[in-house]
A and B are shown apart, each in its own frame.
Chain A
Amino acid sequence: KAGVTQTPRYLIKTRGQQVTLSCSPISGHRSVSWYQQTPGQGLQFLFEYFSETQRNKGNFPGRFSGRQFSNSRSEMNVSTLELGDSALYLCASSPEAGYNEKLFFGSGTQLSVL
């Protein structure tokens, strides 16, 4: 089985631009979540989608948004980029929504905002 695939692997943008990141979960997985990782803040939860519905949201501004498609693939969008948005964005998938499910992470998209 292929793992979680995130594209692109690296991205360079300038302030004020917007960006869309893509995540393809493991085949059969219906839950997709997104995390932001920075050296200063560590790994922080952004949001989670299950069956095309946002189930949970972290404490991030409205510039961060996401969606999930019927095939469980997910995208996240960041508008009006700021320097502080430079980070590794990680996507994780799991089969179902439940408290004891382990997560499978992709390798992430490294976003640099100049």
Chain B
Amino acid sequence: DAKTTQPPSMDCAEGRAANLPCNHSTISGNEYVYWYRQIHSQGPQYIIHGLKNNETNEMASLIITEDRKSSTLILPHATLRDTAVYYCIVRMLNTGTASKLTFGTGTRLQVTL
């Protein structure tokens, strides 16, 4: 699986958009970009994933650059409950095996009043 690079920490004011960057310059054509987050003392929670096109769901938006070497997770209106560690993961195509995810150190997002 391709390696990802994320800033160790970020701050965001409540109600503002939180933009979390991720670099994955060695991504290959069949690898997806996934985002998970982990709130303290809980298991990671799936947020969103994408291959080439931008994606949006009820939690967030994912913007992938045209060359696919980087992406940005956007939380449009951050709340205090969004304070968590956010992991960007690039997943290798491996038919028959679901889940050998490689988590990096992630970005610790602190949402403040």
Contact = CB atoms under 8 A, between A and B. Distances in A.
B81 interface: no
Contact of A50 (B36, B41, B98): B98
B46 A102 contact: yes
Contacts of B91: 99-100
Interface in A43-92: 43-45, 48, 50, 55-56, 58, 90, 92
Contacts, number: 81
Interface of B: 30, 32, 34, 36, 41-46, 49, 87, 91-106
A4 interface: yes
A24 interface: no
Contacts of A104: 46
B49 A97 contact: no
B46 A103 contact: yes
B95 A98 contact: yes
A31 interface: yes
The 3 closest A-B pairs by CB, nearest first: A105-B43, A43-B103, A33-B99
Given A100-B32, A100-B49, A102-B34, A56 B100 contact: yes
A96 B42 CA distance: 23
